[in-house]
Structure 1
Amino acid sequence: MSETTEVRFERRGASGLVTLDRPKAINSLTWAMVDAMRAQLREWAADDAVRVVAITGAGEKGLCAGGDVVSVRRSLLDGDPDAALAFFDTEYDVDALIGTFPVPTVAFMDGVCMGGGIGIGGHASLRLVTERTKIAMPETKIGFFPDVGGLHLLAAAPGELGTHLALTSTVATGADAVMLGMADVLVSSEHLPGIVEGLASGEVPAPADLGSTSHPAPLEKDRAWIDACYAGDDAAAILTRLEEWDGEGADRAHEAAAAIRARSPFSVCLTLAALRRAARLGTLEAVLDQDRALARVFAEEPDFREGVRALLVDKSNDPHWRHASVADVPRTDLPPVLR
């Protein structure tokens, strides 16, 4: 098997088990991890004895906190964009494999599941979340965009909830994830080990047999102002509506506006355009192709390197974005495919 010290692969009866094993980094994905996963998943896809694949994370903190963008940034600063792009291309290959796998894939989206964690969890055929789950696509915080096919999921969310999460990098709960269509069932975290063991039979239980498929979701109470404020293709207009909202949920709308103002203006504008295009593209494969093209844009984008520095390297939280606000980002700054 394509074993590394950072990800483990096991055969348990009729199941193949993937365990991300960087618990101190909340299992954030390195190139070695996604390269090994790609090789192993291709091997299992051709093995008739494997009837289900399960994806889990080591430790108590979560499935996966995302991709190792600090290493990606380092490659860019070292003048090696090919290494940075190889990470993204391999990661997106893994996301596509999970989303189109010939047998069921079961993702255990317990605890933190963000960024790259959504890529390997959100496209599985059965997605389990728990009372500890925290999901997010937090890329606008670091001057990037929601990649790993995340825009495919966010574009399909009810109303404008996906737009809210994409632009603000808001963290949502497991119950929210089910309501958003990014997960299938909310289960108790204490039941996860037993579910993993049960998959060795090769049989995949129905979501309703595992837990709640309809649970009160905190985001539901904000649908009115979210749907009203986030409509359209103009990021500056969205920001103005959020700041001027005076109906129910005004405090939360104003907090969302403040969050967007703190994000990379270029990332916010590009993310909005890419989200709207993802809705028209319709398929995971097409959205991942868009992600590949946009990752190449960000390999040359100073906001990405600056955002990773401020949030994850220096941890100073003082990014200096190249545009003053979303209103200052001309349409011509976006890549041609999004104009």
Structure 2
Amino acid sequence: MVPGHRRYGGRRSSTGERRTLVTDDVLLRTEGRAAHIVLNRPRALNALDHAMVGAIDAALSAWETDSSVATVVLSGAGERGLCAGGDIRAIHDDAKAGGTASAAFWRDEYRLNARIARYPKPYVALMDGIVMGGGVGLSAHGALRVVTERSRVAMPETTIGFVPDVGGTYLLSRTPGLLGTHLALTGAAVGATDAQLCGLADHFVPSALLPHLREDLARLPAHVAVERWAQPAPEGELAAAREWIDACYAADSVEDILERLLGSGVPAAKEAAVTLQSKSPTSLKVTLEAVRRARELSTLEEVLVQEFRVSCAAVTMPDLVEGVRAQVIDKDRSPKWTPADLASVTAADVERFFAPVRDEPTF
């Protein structure tokens, strides 16, 4: 039995013995040769907290040496999506109180992200519906990443005065051209085809076929099961936008990027500029620097250490508390950023986010 979980239940199925391991917010079960992790906070869009990270890590530890488990499958409860990200209300409260709980959460979460990336058994992420922030960290580092027509994949951290983490800057720094820089700064959500183009997903399976895929994962090798149900994805949007995205986001600074976007004459570029103008100026400058530095780092683990430093700095700054207040708590969508404009964010202000901190994660 995986440590820390409450009870077995379940019944026989056509795929063989089914065992279910139940917790409040993470459901763990095996069906045939597949072990399933189900994020189970549907009313919170399966937002990830520290206890859930521990439960998932413990399950992966147990299944890694369990010869009866050939494949691990991640999915989310409810109809809305896999995971909307970390529990930002808890992070807001910790930041407001000057606590240390967020750093402890990120340390374990980033270790889990790295573990998923190097997991020795096929790790299949069913990225149906909303997949954002911490949900990307749980899924996009997996071996087989399945998107559907309902998928909306994003790293929207600049909206709340934060910076992409969970290995997001590693992934977004390695997209074709500067698509990842565009996604990191704007926080834009992409569908199935664009997620594949950006290296955030591998296969498209219509959501109606996911039950059949789950059945096959119980009895077939993971890659065989996924490829059996995979189909060509619907047309995306980013490939056609590469020309203006690459030209505009190659500028040296956020200010110059904005100038190019506004002057490009492309309506979508102007929309991107308007989006950037609503984000935290500090978050934009730190995010651009983080993505560019991540491109020069060799491994996911190195990037996760950088992200830990950035996250620990962000939690001490006013914009994270203010961003969560405006977007999630009061929902007035009118954050008052500090500083309020890009010109007031200096190079020294940005550099402070990358300074080493205590108790950095080790892998």
Quickly name the TM-score band, shorter chain normalised. Answer: over 0.9
Q: Which residue of structure 2 lines up, in the alignment, with residue 34 of structure 1?
A: 53
Contact 2:98 2:316 in 1 (8 A): no
> C-alpha distance in 2, partners of 1:49/1:326?
55
> C-alpha distance in 1, partners of 2:296/2:229?
33
What is the aligned counterpart of 1:43 among 62, 69, 94? 62
Distance 1:220 1:129, change over 3 A: same
What letter matches 1:224 in structure 2? E
Offset at 1:281?
0.8
Q: Which residue of structure 1 lines up, in the alignment, with residue 86 of structure 2?
A: 67
What is the aligned counterpart of 1:53 among 68, 72, 80? 72
Q: Which residue of structure 2 lines up, in the alignment, with residue 201 of structure 1?
A: 219
- For the pair 1:253 / 2:269, whether they are aligned, the reply is yes
What letter matches 1:8 in structure 2? L
Offset at 1:47?
2.3
> C-alpha distance in 1, partners of 2:249/2:354?
18
Contact 1:277 1:338 in 2 (8 A): no
What letter matches 1:54 in structure 2? V
Q: Which residue of structure 2 lines up, in the alignment, with residue 223 of structure 1?
A: 242
Q: Which residue of structure 2 lines up, in the alignment, with residue 297 of structure 1?
A: 313
What is the aligned counterpart of 2:95 among 69, 72, 76? 76
Offset at 1:95?
1.1
Offset at 1:210?
2.8
Distance 1:200 1:267, change over 3 A: same
Which residues of structure 2 form unaligned runs of 5+? 6-22, 356-363
Offset at 1:183?
0.3
Q: Which residue of structure 2 lines up, in the alignment, with residue 192 of structure 1?
A: 210
Contact 1:114 1:137 in 2 (8 A): yes
Identity of matched residues, %? 43
What letter matches 2:263 in structure 1? E
1:72-111 residue pairs with structure 2 within 5 A?
72-80=91-99, 82-111=100-129
> C-alpha distance in 2, partners of 1:202/1:48?
15
Bigger Cα displacement from structure 2, 225-234 vs 302-311: 225-234
Q: Deviations over 1:101-145 (max 9, x none)?
A: 011100000000011110001001000000000011000000001
> C-alpha distance in 2, partners of 1:105/1:241?
41
The Cα RMSD (Å) is 1.6
The size of the alignment, in residue pairs, is: 335
> C-alpha distance in 1, partners of 2:238/2:137?
22
> C-alpha distance in 2, partners of 1:279/1:285?
13
Contact 2:314 2:353 in 1 (8 A): no
1:152-301 residue pairs with structure 2 within 5 A?
152-201=170-219, 203-206=221-224, 208-212=227-231, 216-246=235-265, 250-301=266-317
What is the aligned counterpart of 1:137 among 115, 131, 155? 155
> C-alpha distance in 2, partners of 1:212/1:277?
36
Offset at 1:302?
0.9
Distance 1:242 1:55, change over 3 A: same
Q: Which residue of structure 2 lines up, in the alignment, with residue 14 of structure 1?
A: 33
Bigger Cα displacement from structure 2, 196-205 vs 186-195: 196-205
Offset at 1:215?
5.0
Q: Which residue of structure 2 lines up, in the alignment, with residue 113 of structure 1?
A: 131
> C-alpha distance in 2, partners of 1:65/1:189?
18
Contact 1:149 1:291 in 2 (8 A): yes
Which residues of structure 1 form unaligned runs of 5+? none
Q: TM-score, normalised by structure 1?
A: 0.95
What letter matches 1:297 in structure 2? A
Offset at 1:337?
7.2
